[in-house]
Amino acid sequence: MHPILFEIPKIDLGAWTIGPFPIRLYGLMIGIGFLLGIWLASRRAKKEGIDPDRILDMGIYLLLAAIVGSRLLYVIVTWQEFTRNPLDIFAIWKGGLVFYGGLIGAVATGVWYLRKHDLPLWKTADIFAPYVALGHMFGRFGCFFAGCCYGAQCTGPLGITYSDPHSLAPLGIGLYPTQLFEAGGEFLNFLLLLTLYRFRSFDGQVFWTYPALYAVLRFTVEFFRGDAVRGVWFGGLVSTSQIIAVVMFCASLIMLRYLGSRQQPTAAKAQPATNKR
């Protein structure tokens, strides 16, 4: 893999020299995923009678919140990495973003934005959900190119070997392509959520189905991960992300049941009245 697509050479301005500026595939893939997702969400919003400009503006807030949240959770889980050089906390171009942290940050910011601008909460969330999965797919491709979130050692035909010295993965050994496992799973989630959106029976159904689907995907992929810094618990049986996945899955089921029950007819209304004789 080649983490750096190309490099803009340094510029000599006499007293100052700036550059060089490497263009990394990691950031490029994240950028493509975000722009494509927010554009598709704005088109869907327009069809649903929601101002697409509000969706585009909201996307900027969500992107910033997702980056801060995903980086913050990574730093919390791997704080030992930053004890010697705390400034590396801000070096996100080196990799190190945890999706769950980004999801929590984006959801909190999204709720604030929607309430501030008086937009329908769960209806708008349903619009975004499929395209979050699509954007995350591109993000995992970025991880694949960068070598972060790499898999455990693999001696079979599925193994991939990194050789570029700029890669974040161990070099010269076969590894499970866990980034591609997750990218493929997210594309499947994207298709499932798009289908569910057409047949949804209540607002919020699509949105809360997504973390349930992703929790299953992430919990499974974690068994093939090899990056030891992701955090392990109970003697290495499960990772931090797997614990979060279990919590997220349960929370999603609770919310689906709650929102569904609020919009279903009660038994009294559903059954026709009968005359007593």
- b/e for 33-60, b at 16 or more Cβ within 10 A? bbeebbebbbebbeeeebebebbeebbe
pLDDT at 266: 40
Residue 3 predicted with pLDDT over 60: yes
267 domain residue, yes or no: no
> Does a structural domain hold residue 117?
yes
Note the pLDDT of residue 92: 67
Residue 62 within a domain: yes
Cα separation, 54 vs 70, whole angstroms: 24
Residue 263, domain member (yes or no): no
Q: What is the pLDDT of residue 270?
A: 43
What pTM, to 2 d.p., does this model score? Answer: 0.81
Q: What is the pLDDT of residue 273?
A: 47
Domain containing 59: what range? 22-146+156-210
How far apart, in whole angstroms, are the C-alpha atoms of residue 69 and residue 76?
11
Alpha-helix runs per DSSP H in 97-204: 99-116, 121-146, 178-199
E strand or H helix at 232: strand 232-233
Q: Give the pLDDT band (50/70/90) at residue 185.
A: very high
Residue with tokens 């570029």: 164
Q: How many structural domains compose the chain?
A: 1
CA distances 257 to 28, 144, 192, 247, 262, Å, are 38, 36, 19, 16, 9
pLDDT at 211: 93
What is the distance between the alpha carbons of residues 137 and 141, in angstroms, rounded to a whole number? 7
Q: Are 21 and 4 in contact (CB under 8 A)?
A: no
- pLDDT for the residue 267: 42
Q: What percent of the chain has pLDDT over 90?
A: 48
pLDDT digits (tens, 9 = 90+) for 87-105: 777 776 666 677 778 878 8
Please write the tens of the pLDDT for every residue from 104-114. Answer: 888 899 889 99
Q: Is the pLDDT of residue 217 over 80?
A: yes
> Which position has the token pair 């080196």?
94
pLDDT of residue 95: 60
Average pLDDT rounded to a whole number, residues 16-33 = 80
For the chain, what is the mean pLDDT?
A: 85
Q: Is the pLDDT of residue 242 over 60?
A: yes
Q: What is the DSSP letter of 24?
A: E
Q: Is residue 11 part of a domain?
A: no
> pLDDT tens across 131-184, in order?
999 999 999 999 899 888 899 999 889 999 999 988 889 999 999 999 999 999
Query: Could you tell me if residue 262 is inside a domain?
Result: no
Is residue 161 one of the residues assigned to a domain?
yes
Least confident of 31-45, 57-71, 209-223: 57-71
pLDDT at 15 over 70: no
Tell whether the model's pLDDT for residue 276 goes beyond 50: no
Domain annotation covers residue 222: no
* Helix 52-77 vs helix 25-47: crossing angle, to nearest 10: 140
What is the torsion angle, in degrees rounded to the nearest 10, for the CA atoms of residue 66, residue 70, residue 73 and residue 78?
A: -160
- CA pseudo-torsion sign 40, 44, 46, 52: negative
